[in-house]
Every structure is written in structure tokens, then in C-alpha cells.
Structure 1
């Protein structure tokens, strides 16, 4: 018997169903299937291996970025507050942790309201506790700083550190950082581990749970169980003075570490099977670089991290950090920073090139 499967025909067919039969049919309708209970975007596990997604926008202006950001609603999942983070360290570790957290609060949100500055500090301390990130404040803040792009906090690799802080704004940021290290919790952003300014539209944003906007920043957390407070089991390890080359060159595993659906990293040399353009294919995960750091791209190959920094680049980063600490402790005259440098809120983001 021929069936009419047009919209009109299906409406006529369902009109004859009793409520129980209709509920059962809808439960098995793939079009009406409920959203992922963990708030993950539909299709978040699919990768376009030809290039990083750009939503069809070649050069995103502030206006178009705001429009793109508005297309995705904030999640209705609850925002659960984190336990207080109390820094149990003394001496140099305590001083360096305060300095690095103040750096992040100042350079990322100097012109934000106090609640926005507290939210940035909360993200840093959330990362210290999350298993996916380093276990000291300075290592979290300067993760990826050896990269020209892809650093976790943009001020560490975009040249902002060339400008000395404005004294009054620095003291305000330092007060926020000190309170955070003494156990103050910003409940507004809960377990957030990522954020970006509302005038940019990073490609990784749809892969995370969109939680809240505070000031100019939109905050996100991991999807699934690893975005819940119970997953933040990492312990502070100290050692603020030492940031290893591996950390200085590392990536955020969640947003650009080539994750599998369960949130685990895929190492170079392994294979991954993906549904690409409706076809299921298997690809090699590689990190092949030619001499001079230029990457050789091979069709059907996924590329993970960038090249490792040279010893000279690592030494330059360490010299820069040492110079910052010396300038902070020495009674030197502080030059006023251009307002634009202090007011440029950065974003926690993965490499987008």
C-alpha cells in the first residue's frame, strides 16, 4: 500500500493516533530527538579537516561577531559555584602566584567592572584545579606563551606586556587577585574555564557550554561531566618560578587538541575515524614539520601541535618573565600605559590560524 510521506500526509496520519501512540512515535523520531543532556552542540564531534571553521566569515568585524555570538543562546543548564580556592603557599610561590594572577586580571580585564575582573580570576583558578591544565597559577596564565598565536591568555603573546601597567588600575586588579587567592568565589561564572570578548567569534565557542556574559566577556565551561565542579580534582603543586618549555608551548586540549568524543586527547601517530561530509573516513594524526618550522600538509592527515620552540625562544621567554619580576620589585618609575593597551580585554582561546 502506497504511503504519503509528505508533511501533509504525515499530519493526516498522526491525527488518527491516540496520545500514547503519538508520544511513542515522537520518542523515536530522529528529527524531534532531545538535545544532548550535557549541553553539547549537535555535531560537535565532527571535524572539517580542510581548514578551521570560520562560519563563512572571512574577516569578522565587531558587529558581525556580536551577531554570530547572539545566534547561540546561553545554556539553561545550572551554573554551580566552585569551592573556595585558598592558596596554601608562602614566600616566593605566594608572591609569584599573586603577580601572575594580577597580570591576568589586569591585562585581560583592566577596564571591566569588578565582577568581570573576579570572573577572569575565577577562570584562572578553575584551570589550576582542572585535570586538563597545569597546576600552578603562573603555569596556567602563561601556558602557550611561546606561541605567536594560541596562547591561552592573549596578553601573554600579543605584545601587551611591553606596556607598563597604569598604577591605580594595577592596584585594583591586585586586590581582586588577592581576594581570589584567599578564597573569594565568583558564583556568576561557576566552573567556567574559557571566555572571549563579545566582539570576537572564536571557532571553538560552539563546542563548549555557553554560560554567562559578564561585562564584555562571554564565559564557557567544558561539556559533559568534565565541566561540572566534581571534576575539578587537581591539586595546586606550587613551583611558580618554573614554567617548563612543554607548558610554554602546549595547547588547550579541549579546544584545539584534537579530542575524541569523550574528551581525551589523540596523540600523534594514532588514527582517528571521522564522519566528514557524510562519509566515514580514517585519518592519520600527525605532527610532521619540515626544516625551518614550515609544516608540510598532506591530504588526509590531521595536524596537532605546532613545532616546539627553539632553545633561544625558551630563553627569551624566561628572560622576559625575569625582567617583569625585577621591574615589579624594583622602586623604578612606572610609565603610564596607553589606554588602549590596558583596556584590551583578551580571550581564552585556542589557535585560530
Structure 2
């Protein structure tokens, strides 16, 4: 019994330490994501995915995040959408935002969270780096902005 309680105390201590480390995970739980506000998660997606290129590019990325947020197939929080494995830039929730692009990301995040959307994105829930092309016929491109190409996946008939 004493060995079990000692093990539980060690696990609890590790969990407490992990919560204090931004971007770390413990047993598959991303503690940094749990500490971030919806605005910070939105800012980070826009900052890293648009390469801080323009307000238009950030707004387009933010629109994709919200399109996913509003789709029942995706998580029900902005941080959940941004933190989904293999969906956004690696380290998006843990890397530091180190330049003035963070100020622009903050401003655009406020706009997106108040309901602004990039009209060119339409219903797109996906994007990739501009200039790349893939051999799939279900990718319907709707916009190029901020160094990315935005597309909808449509059923081919």
C-alpha cells in the first residue's frame, strides 16, 4: 500500500511540474493548451501559419480555425482546433512569438473572435503553403493569401 501511495505522489508531482512548463505534455495531455485563452490560441495559429505576412493572411487562417470550430467533426474550442495533432504548424502552441507580428496577430484575433471572416475563404477548412500542388481531385481552391492556398474538400462525382 505504501508503494502505491508513493507512486501516486510521484505521478501527481510530475503532473504539477508539467503544468508549469509551457508547451509540455504529460500522459498525452497538453497542459500549455489548457492554460491559454481562446485568443492566444487563435493568435498563435495566425502568427505561425501566415508567417506574419499580412493581416489578410492572418484573417484567412483565423477563418479556417472558426470554420473548423463550427463543424461538429472538430473540437468545440479554438484551442482544441488549433491543438489538434498534425493539423497546424508543429509547436504552434509552445514556440515563442518573438517579433512585432504578435501585435498584428492580437489585433486580428480580436476581430475574428468578434465575428470577422475573410470572405474569400468561404467554407474552406484546409490550407497549405502556396505553390504546392497535390494530385487529389477533391481539393477545390478558393483563395491564396498570406503565403497559403485555402481549399475546400469536396466530394467528386
Match of 2:89 among 151, 154, 179: 154
Q: Which residue of 2 aligns with 1:108?
A: 49
- Stretches of structure 2 lacking an aligned partner (at least 5 in a row): 1-33
Q: State whether structure 2 residue 95 is matched by structure 1 residue 138.
A: no
Q: State whether structure 2 residue 144 is matched by structure 1 residue 207.
A: no
The Cα offsets for residues 282-318 of structure 1, whole Å up to 9 and x where unpaired, read as xxxxxxxxxxxxxxxxxxxxxxxxxxxxxxxxxxxxx
Secondary structure at 2:128's aligned position in 1?
Answer: strand
Shift of 1:222: 2.7
Q: Which residue of 1 aligns with 2:115?
A: 183
TM-score normalized with structure 2 length: 0.68
CA contact (8 A) 1:194 1:220 kept: yes
Shift of 1:190: 0.9
Q: Which residue of 1 aligns with 2:100?
A: 168
Question: Map of 1:1-353 to 2, 5 A cutoff?
Answer: 96-144=37-85, 151-156=86-91, 161-162=94-95, 164-202=96-134, 206-224=137-155
Name the structure where strand makes up a greater proportion of residues.
2
The Cα offsets for residues 231-285 of structure 1, whole Å up to 9 and x where unpaired, read as xxxxxxxxxxxxxxxxxxxxxxxxxxxxxx89xxxxxxxxxxxxxxxxxxxxxxx
The Cα offsets for residues 148-202 of structure 1, whole Å up to 9 and x where unpaired, read as xxx1002337xx944x212421011111111100111211111110000124345
- Largest Rg, 1 or 2: 1
The Cα offsets for residues 303-345 of structure 1, whole Å up to 9 and x where unpaired, read as xxxxxxxxxxxxxxxxxxxxxxxxxxxxxxxxxxxxxxxxxxx
CA contact (8 A) 1:192 1:221 kept: yes
Secondary structure at 1:188's aligned position in 2?
Answer: helix
Secondary structure at 1:116's aligned position in 2?
Answer: helix
TM-score normalized with structure 1 length: 0.32
Distance in 2, Cα, partners of 1:206 & 1:103: 31
Distance 1:202 1:216, change over 3 A: same
Q: Which residue of 2 aligns with 1:280?
A: none
Distance in 1, Cα, partners of 2:77 & 2:91: 16
Distance in 2, Cα, partners of 1:215 & 1:179: 17
Aligned residues: 123
Moved over 6 A (4+): none
Distance in 2, Cα, partners of 1:199 & 1:189: 17
Q: Which residue of 2 aligns with 1:74?
A: none
Shift of 1:120: 0.2
Distance in 2, Cα, partners of 1:200 & 1:222: 16
CA contact (8 A) 2:51 2:146 kept: no
Shift of 1:131: 2.1
Distance in 1, Cα, partners of 2:141 & 2:54: 20
Name the structure where helix makes up a greater proportion of residues.
2
Distance in 1, Cα, partners of 2:40 & 2:74: 19
